[in-house]
Amino acid sequence: MGILENIFTAQFIYTIIRVSTPLIFASLSSLIARRAGVTNITIDSTMLMSALTGVLVSAFTGSLWLALVSGMVVGIVMGIFMGYFHIMMNTNMILTGVAINTFTNGAVVMILYAFTGDKGSSSMINSLGVPGLEIPLIKDIPILGEILSGHNIFTYVAFLMVIVVWFLMYRMPLGLRIRAVGENSSAAKSVGENPTKIKLIALGLSGFFASLGGMYLSMGNMQVFIVGMTSSRGFIGVAADAMGQGNPVGAMLASLLFGSANAVGNVLQINSFSTDVVMAIPYVVSIIGIIVYSAREKQKRESKIKRAIAQAEKLQGV
């Protein structure tokens, strides 16, 4: 019963939250872009670039704040850069994404090599990290304290950002504009909005959240940058957002599901189980989730049309 003993512990739930943190950032990043009508597939590379920026700036300036700010700026710039090529230069979304991903994967190695002389990781230089946080009262509660307290600050920021994004999307004019542009760009334009500007802002925000996720990996979870350390978390973020149906809370829950599968996979691996099946579960679940959701939407649309036709026939009959 080694597996179950390993799973039903406070430590395990703590791990789930830790593993899910970058996924939450990535899913929020995807959410804002997708709500503005752009499928952002550059999240993964944006995370990687910000992770590297944070590490290098903190190592060479010794300032944590400067590192965080420059990481965020790089993220925002990458988001807007994608927007520039996709929206202003009228490039296909997928092509822009492929180009930016390829560019970043190459540039990251070249920059790392230029600054540290190493092509794999930044272990040659000493970079700073964001510390963990013990929450005063909660940490004394027996099990809950073990689960909730002592996480990295980024983790608390991630959950805070879920609320912020929800507020932004549903309670603020900018969120309404983003949703309007995403649903019908022409209609938004007809009432005097500037879709290009709003999409660029949304992509900038998307890049901002991706940068937080990236910096968590290299400055929170670990204090070193490793090439490929995002290991497709950006794409998992897109999946989590698709599964959450564009709702920040849904995206968070989906991220936690992906994180759980990851954590269970790790436990199974220790117990020499095949991890592949477990690792595949979140993808299968989200594919099914997306299919069920769109099937239901389609059914709704069709029944609406049927009702309208029936009504029209009735009116004609009279």
Partner 1 sequence: MSNKQLNQVFSVVKTFLAIVIAMVVAFVIILVVSDEPMEALYAFLLGPFTSVRRIGNLIENTIPLIYVGLGVCVLWATGKRTLSGEGCYYFGGLMAALASIKIYFIHGKSLTVTSMVIVLVVCGIMALLPMIVNLKYGTDAFVVSLLFNYVMFYIGNYIFSNYLMDITSTSSGSYPLPTDSFLPTLIPGTKVNANLIVALLMIVAVWFFMYKTKWGYSIRLVGLNPNCAKYVGINVFAVCILAQFIGGAISGFGGGMEMFGRNPRFAWFSLTNMGWDGIMVATLAKYKPQYILFSALFLGYVRTGADIMNRSSDVASEIVMIIQAVMILFIGANSFLAAMQQRVRVKYNEKAEKEA
| Angstrom distance (rounded) from CA 190 to CA 141 | 56
Q: Choose between 222 and 290: whose C-beta lies nearer to partner 1.
A: 290
Q: Which of 297, 305, 306, 309 binds partner 1 (CB under 8 A)?
A: 297
| Angstrom distance (rounded) from CA 180 to CA 183 | 5
Query: Taking a C-beta distance cutoff of 8 angstroms, is the pair 211, 47 a contact?
Result: yes
Q: Choose between 113 and 167: whose C-beta lies nearer to partner 1.
A: 113
Q: Is 110 in the site for partner 1 (CB under 8 A)?
A: yes
Query: Taking a C-beta distance cutoff of 8 angstroms, is the pair 280, 261 a contact?
Result: no
Q: Is 103 in the site for partner 1 (CB under 8 A)?
A: yes
Q: Is 90 in the site for partner 1 (CB under 8 A)?
A: yes
Number of neighbours of residue 113 by Cβ within 10 angstroms: 13
> Pick from 22, 231, 218: which is nearest to 112 by CA?
218
Measure the CA angle with vertex 229, ends 209 and 133; round to 5°. 60
| Angstrom distance (rounded) from CA 307 to CA 205 | 41
Q: Choose between 17 and 278: whose C-beta lies nearer to partner 1.
A: 278
Q: Is 113 in the site for partner 1 (CB under 8 A)?
A: yes
Q: Which of 17, 130, 147, 239 binds partner 1 (CB under 8 A)?
A: 239
Alpha helix ranges (H) inside 43-172: 43-61, 64-83, 93-116, 142-148, 153-171
Taken in order 229, 9, 135, 167, the sign of the CA dihedral is positive
> Pick from 32, 105, 79, 67: which is nearest to 215 by CA?
67
Q: Choose between 91 and 185: whose C-beta lies nearer to partner 1.
A: 91
Q: Is 270 in the site for partner 1 (CB under 8 A)?
A: no
Q: Which of 284, 305, 310, 312 binds partner 1 (CB under 8 A)?
A: 284
Q: Choose between 7 and 107: whose C-beta lies nearer to partner 1.
A: 107
| Angstrom distance (rounded) from CA 33 to CA 44 | 14
> Pick from 37, 5, 12, 32: which is nearest to 183 by CA?
37
Q: Which of 291, 305, 308, 312 binds partner 1 (CB under 8 A)?
A: 291
Q: Choose between 151 and 179: whose C-beta lies nearer to partner 1.
A: 179
Q: Is 106 in the site for partner 1 (CB under 8 A)?
A: yes
* Cα dist from 122 to 26, 104, 108, 112, whole Å: 23, 17, 11, 7
Q: Is 238 in the site for partner 1 (CB under 8 A)?
A: yes
Q: Is 307 in the site for partner 1 (CB under 8 A)?
A: no
Q: Which of 85, 115, 156, 159 binds partner 1 (CB under 8 A)?
A: 85
Cβ 292 to partner 1 shortest distance, Å: 9
Q: Choose between 116 and 155: whose C-beta lies nearer to partner 1.
A: 116
Q: Which of 124, 187, 287, 312 binds partner 1 (CB under 8 A)?
A: 287
Chain contacts with partner 1 (rule: CB under 8 A): 39, 41, 85, 88-92, 94-96, 98-103, 105-107, 109-110, 113-114, 119, 232, 235, 238-239, 242, 274, 276-277, 279-280, 283-284, 286-287, 290-291, 294-295, 297-298
